[in-house]
């Protein structure tokens, strides 16, 4: 880095990112569509839509509904499957100078292991992000992400099945996120993605039915910002692992709050839908802000919370 331009690069464990702005899983597809309006190489990374071992059709529509300052989704993890990803999607993403993170999920330990093994060693894949917000159907629906033991076990199982850096994505719908963070760390996580969506629902009064076909869905968008910030605060108190801050980020102000609390990078989710240039603009805004503030490296900001 030359003397003047602020250095935006960050390290997430062994992974070096050119900047700390990443597109969040499920809000950026597999990157192809966005490449039509932006240069993906400008982004720190792209997390692709949650992959399972096999193709998934997903839930019946309606799959989204707006809520005050946010939205609910119940996509049901529709995806092209690990195979389809490797064949049809990854080769395209490899063309860009950006980190590619595969968000993965399963309904049993075995499914998690299978998809992790299938993706292991794939050229151009930077890391795995473990989506543990799914119920373990073998264990009678106990949630992988809300029970510390299951969190640790599924993390370890995937850890053992893959040589890729492993990010574990935590659910906010728990009594103590710090406990889950420690469980993921114990299982061998290299970093924590905080947070996934919160559970919510709405009712269509005219029909007296849930608006979503699946009754409830995941809440995302600006409305969840203060909750996400609090979860990052608690996670940072529980562990020294790198943190990817996620939730309600629209631009510079929100991203800075996450960095100050100790997030090492941020992911932009719902904003990609209503402001498709949001993540690219955030990279520019961060650079300019650092320059104005005389900050040479974004890392100076990370965890700079003043207390008392």
Partner 1 sequence: MYDRRLAIESVAHVGPGQFILGFECPEIAAQCRPGHFVMISVAESIDPVLRRPMAIYRVLRDASNTPYGFTLLIEVVGCGTALLEQKSIGDHLEVLGPLGVPFSLPTKDEASGEHLLVMGGVGSAPFPLVAEELLKSGHRVRAFVGARTAEALLCVDDFRELGVPVEVATDDGSEGFHGYVVHPLQGYLESEDPANAVLYACGPTPMMRAVHEIAIIRNLPLQVSFEAPMACGIGVCLSCVVRVDAGDYGDWRYVRCCREGPVFDSRRLVWQ
Is 173 among the residues that bind ligand FMN (CB under 6 A)?
no
Binding to its own copies (CB under 8 A) within 176-235 occurs at 176, 198-203, 205, 207-210, 215-216, 219, 221-227, 229-230, 233
Neighbours of 185 (CB within 10 A): 20
CB 268 to ligand FMN: min, Å: 6
Is 37 among the residues that bind its own copies (CB under 8 A)?
no
Is 43 among the residues that bind ligand FMN (CB under 6 A)?
no
Distance CA 201, CA 218 (A): 8
Region for residue 181 given its phi and psi (left: phi exceeds 0; alpha: psi -120 to 50; beta: otherwise): alpha
Burial grade of 118 (CB within 10 A; 0-12, 13-18, 19 or more): buried
Q: Which does 246 bind (CB under 5 to 8 A by kind): its own copies, ligand FMN, partner 1, none?
A: ligand FMN
By the 8 A CB rule, do 151 and 184 touch? Answer: yes
By the 8 A CB rule, do 305 and 260 touch? Answer: yes
Is 50 among the residues that bind ligand FMN (CB under 6 A)?
yes
Burial grade of 169 (CB within 10 A; 0-12, 13-18, 19 or more): buried
Selected from 6, 20, 26, 106, the binder of ligand FMN by CB under 6 A is 26
Tell me 127's DSSP state: E
Which residues here bind ligand FMN, judged by CB under 6 A? 24-27, 49-50, 73, 75, 77, 103, 131, 169, 196-197, 220-221, 224, 246-249, 268-271
The residues annotated as belonging to the active site are 134
Which residues here bind partner 1, judged by CB under 8 A? 26-29, 33-34, 36-37, 49, 57-58, 61-66, 68-71, 73, 75, 78, 221-223, 250, 270, 272-277
């Amino acid at each position: 880095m030359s003397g003047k331009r602020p250095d935006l690069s960050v390290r997430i464990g062994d992974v070096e990112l050119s900047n700390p702005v990443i597109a969040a899983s499920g809000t950026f597809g597999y990157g192809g569509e966005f490449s039509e309006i932006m240069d993906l190489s400008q982004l720190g990374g792209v997390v692709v839509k949650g992959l399972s071992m096999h193709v998934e059709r997903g839930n019946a529509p309606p799959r989204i509904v707006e809520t005050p300052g946010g939205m609910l989704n119940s996509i049901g993890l529709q995806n092209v499957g690990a195979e389809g990803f490797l064949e049809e999607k990854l080769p395209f993403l490899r063309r860009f100078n950006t980190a590619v993170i595969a968000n993965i999920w399963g309904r049993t330990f075995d499914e998690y292991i299978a998809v992790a093994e299938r993706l292991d060693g794939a050229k151009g894949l930077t890391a795995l992000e473990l989506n543990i917000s799914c119920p373990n159907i073998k264990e009678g629906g106990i949630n992988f992400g809300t029970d510390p033991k299951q969190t640790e076990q599924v993390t370890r199982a995937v850890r053992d099945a893959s040589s890729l850096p492993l990010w574990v994505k935590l659910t906010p719908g728990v009594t103590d996120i710090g406990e889950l963070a420690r469980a993921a760390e114990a299982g061998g996580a290299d970093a924590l993605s905080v947070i996934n969506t919160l559970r919510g629902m709405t009712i269509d009064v005219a029909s007296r039915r849930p608006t979503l076909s699946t009754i409830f869905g995941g809440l995302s968008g600006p409305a969840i910002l203060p909750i996400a910030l609090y979860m990052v605060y608690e996670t940072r108190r529980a562990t020294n692992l790198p943190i990817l801050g996620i939730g309600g980020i629209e631009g510079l102000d929100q991203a800075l709050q996450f960095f100050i609390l100790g997030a090492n990078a941020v992911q932009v989710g719902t904003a990609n839908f209503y402001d498709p240039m949001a993540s690219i603009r955030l990279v520019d805004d961060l650079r300019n802000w650092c320059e104005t503030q005389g900050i040479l490296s974004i890392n100076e900001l990370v965890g700079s919370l003043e207390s008392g």
